[in-house]
Each structure stands twice: as C-alpha cells, then as structure tokens.
Amino acid sequence: MEMDITLTVNGERIAERVEARQSLVDFVRDDLGLTGSHIGCEHGVCGACTMRVDGEIVRGCLMLAVQCDGSVVETIEGLSDSGELADLQAAFEQRNALQCGYCTPGMLTAAQELLKAGTVPSREEIREHISGNYCRCTGYHAIVDAIESVAKARMGAGT
C-alpha cells in the first residue's frame, strides 16, 4: 500500500509517495539521500538512526514515514548546516569522541537534546541520557568529556 505524504525535512518542503511499511530512516536515506542517519539494529536499541521530529528526538527505525505526514523532520545534515551542533562537533573533534563515526550523528543529536535543557548535567546524568545510543568504539569516556565541556561552555562556566 502506498500513501502520499507532505513534510518538511531540514527546512525543505517534501512531497513524496511512500510505501506504508517504509520506516522513517529508510525514507530519509533511500528516498531523500540523507545518509547521515544510520541503520544499526532496526529495532530501537542502538540509537544510530536518532533524528528529530517536531522538536523531539525519535528512533528513525521505530517510526514509519507515513507517520511524519505534516511533520517537521531534522536530520544530522540539517542540524549541521544550521550550525546548531557546531560547538558540540568541535568538542567531539578535539576530544576524539568518535572513532568509526557510525553512531556519531545519533549521539550528537541525542546529546543536543540534553544540552538544550540549559543546565550543566553531571557525568552520571550524561551517561544516563546517552544510554540509548550504542557506541562500540570509544568506551563512552571521551563522549562524556566532550558533552560535559560543551555544557559548561554554554553555561558560561568555562571548560
């Protein structure tokens, strides 16, 4: 079964005909060519497909494209081009908080949600928040360091 959907992706108005069974992450990757959202487990555990729908982060593999009819979708490409993640990306680069980089778009998107709360979270709170995002490479220590440094910098507390 196919359906017509209209939505905004990274600020761009999109009208497409999609299969009802198609997941959101397959839609943005295969139909829109936005390959920065990655597929890791397709059952909502690893967080590699984390993206933003109507301001909230979601698992792109647990949502259907047709559920996003009328929604505003933001992927790593849009969040990067707008500069919203620039300080976080700089911190990840300086701290080598990524290795293979496959989990990183999802990790950054999840971290940004925590940082938007406007407080400086503890290391434990950071660890708790990103525990829906699986990273096999880093062991997480560097990721926690990078997020913590950005939280402090944004609050003017310095790093």
Partner 1 sequence: MKITADTPSALTALDRPNSYIGRAVPRPNLQRLMQGRGQYVSDVTLPRMTHVAFLRSPHAHARIVSINTEAAKKSPGVVAVVTGAELAKVMTPWVGVLTHLKGIKSAPQYPIAVDRACWQGEAVCAVVARTRAQAEDACELIDIVYEELPAVTDPETALDPATPVIHEALDDNLCFERKLDVGDVDKAFANSDAVVEATFVCGRHTGVCTEGRAIIADWNASEQRMTVYQATQAPHMMQDLFAKHLDIEAGQVRVLTKDVGGSFGIKVHTYADEMATVALSKLLKRPVKFVADRIESFVTDIHARDHRIKGKIGVTKDGVITAFEIDDLTGIGPYSVYPRTSGIEANQVVNLTGGPYNCPNYRAQARVVFQNKNVMCQYRAVGHPIAVAVTEGLVELAAAKIGMDPLEIRRRNLFADDSYPAQTASGLKLELLSHHAALAQLDTMINYAGLRTEQKALREKGIYRGIGFASFIEVTNPSAAFYGVGGARITSQDGATVKLDAQGAITIHSGVTEQGQGAEAVLAQCVASSFGVSMDRVRVVTGDTDNTPYGGGTWASRAAGIGGEAAWQAGKALRGNVLAVAGAMLQAKPDELDIRDGLVVDKVTGAERLTLAELARVAYFRPDTLPPGFQAELMATRHYVPRAWPFAFTNGIQASYLEVDTDTGFVKLLRHWCVEDCGTIINPQLVNEQIRGGVVQGIGAVLFEQCLYDERGQMLNGNMADYLVPMAVEMPDIDCGHVVSPTADSELGAKGAGEAGTAGAPACIMNAINDALRPLGATPLTDMPFTPGKILKALGKV
Asked if 16 is part of the footprint of partner 1 (rule: CB under 8 A), the reply reads: no
Q: Is 84 in the site for partner 1 (CB under 8 A)?
A: no
Residues 23-52: x where in contact with partner 1 by CB under 8 A, - otherwise, as a string: ------x----xxxxxxxxxx-xx-x----
Q: Can you tell me which of 21, 116, 122, 155 binds partner 1, judged by CB under 8 A?
A: 21
Binding flag, residue 12, partner 1 (CB under 8 A): no
Query: Could you say which of 7, 57, 142, 151 contacts partner 1 (CB under 8 A)?
Result: 142
Of 30 and 69, the one with the shorter C-beta distance to partner 1 is: 30
Query: 3-state SS of the chain?
Result: CEEEEEEEECCEEEEEEEECCCEHHHHHHHHCCCCCCCCCCCCCCCCCCEEEECCEEEECCCCEHHHHCCCEEECHHHHHHCCCCHHHHHHHHHHCCCCCCCCHHHHHHHHHHHHCCCCCCCHHHHHHHHHHCCCCCCCCHHHHHHHHHHHHHHCCCCC
User: Is residue 134 at the binding interface for partner 1, with CB under 8 A as the rule?
Assistant: yes
